[in-house]
């Protein structure tokens, strides 16, 4: 089993946590394919930039990786949100979207009643990770993020999620599975 990446989205549809277990270039191949030279409007309003090819000037490369990562997160959210809505429309409100598979990767999805969405990308042969995502929610998220009295309730920009206990716990848990 290979786990490529993991994302958490909050009820405001924001990506509040993401983690890759492969170097970005390798994970990028596994992530939903975006054209390597997509036009992206940067946050500072500088207009559109063309993503530098890998191996370009070091800081540009890092920046583009960052832009690409947030772009991937948005794409992933858009995808799982649409799929989940479609699943409910076809299968009734109690139906749940669990996973989809492409030639390159498998995407696993788990949504809590409080509208937190957990997404994990793995290789194609991995069995259902729904219970793993559920475990991450009850054993790591609730214990280390929600019950941390100093962490905010809303995690705008990932605030309060990136604490040591949660990150260590997650990394250990996921590495234990691989």
Partner 1 sequence: MMSASKASRLGEEIWKTRIDKVNSELVVLTYGTIVAQLCKDFDSDYVEVNKQLDKMGYNIGLRLIEDYLAKSNTMRRCANFRETAEMIAKVGFKIFLNITPTITNWTSDSKQFSLVFDENPLADFVELPDDGRAQDELWFSNILCGVLRGALEMVQMQVEAHFISDVLRGNDTTEMRISLIRYIDDELPPEDD
Site for partner 1 contains 29 (CB under 8 A): no
Question: Per CB under 8 A, which region of 27-35, 56-64, 100-108, 137-145 contacts partner 1?
Answer: 137-145
Rg (the chain; Cα; Å): 17
In the region spanning residues 113 to 132, those forming contacts with partner 1, defined by CB under 8 A, are 113-115
Antiparallel, parallel or unpaired: β 15-20 and 39-41: unpaired
The least distance separating partner 1 from the CB of residue 22, rounded to whole angstroms, comes to 26
Q: 61 to each of 56, 64, 135, 151, how far by Cα in Å?
A: 6, 5, 35, 32
Count of residues interacting with partner 1 (CB under 8 A): 23
In whole angstroms, give the CA distance from residue 139 to residue 6.
Answer: 16
| Residue pair 137/9 in contact by the 8 Å Cβ criterion | no
Q: Please give the span between the terminal C-alpha atoms of the chain, in angstroms, as a whole number.
A: 5
- What does the per-residue mask of binding to partner 1 show for 61-100, with x meaning CB under 8 A? -------------x--xx--x-----------xx-x----
* Residues forming the site for partner 1 (CB under 8 A): 11-13, 41, 74, 77-78, 81, 93-94, 96, 112-115, 134, 137-138, 141-142, 146-147, 153
């Amino acid at each position: 089993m290979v786990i490529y990446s993991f994302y958490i989205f909050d009820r405001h549809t924001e990506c509040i946590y993401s983690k890759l277990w492969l170097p970005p270039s390798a994970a990028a191949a596994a992530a939903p394919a975006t054209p390597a030279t997509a036009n992206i409007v940067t946050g500072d309003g500088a207009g559109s930039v063309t993503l530098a090819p890998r191996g370009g000037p070091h800081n540009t490369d890092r920046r583009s990786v960052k832009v690409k990562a947030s772009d991937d997160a948005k794409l992933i959210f858009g995808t799982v949100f649409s799929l989940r809505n479609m699943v409910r429309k076809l299968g009734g409100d109690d139906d749940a979207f669990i996973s989809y598979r492409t030639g390159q990767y498998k995407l696993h999805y788990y949504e809590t009643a409080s509208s937190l969405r957990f997404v994990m990308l793995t290789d194609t042969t991995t069995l259902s990770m729904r219970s793993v995502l559920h475990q991450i929610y009850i054993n790591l998220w609730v214990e280390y993020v929600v019950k941390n009295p100093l962490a905010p309730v809303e995690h705008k920009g990932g605030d309060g999620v990136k604490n040591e206990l949660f990150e260590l716990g997650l990394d250990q848990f996921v590495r234990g599975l691989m």
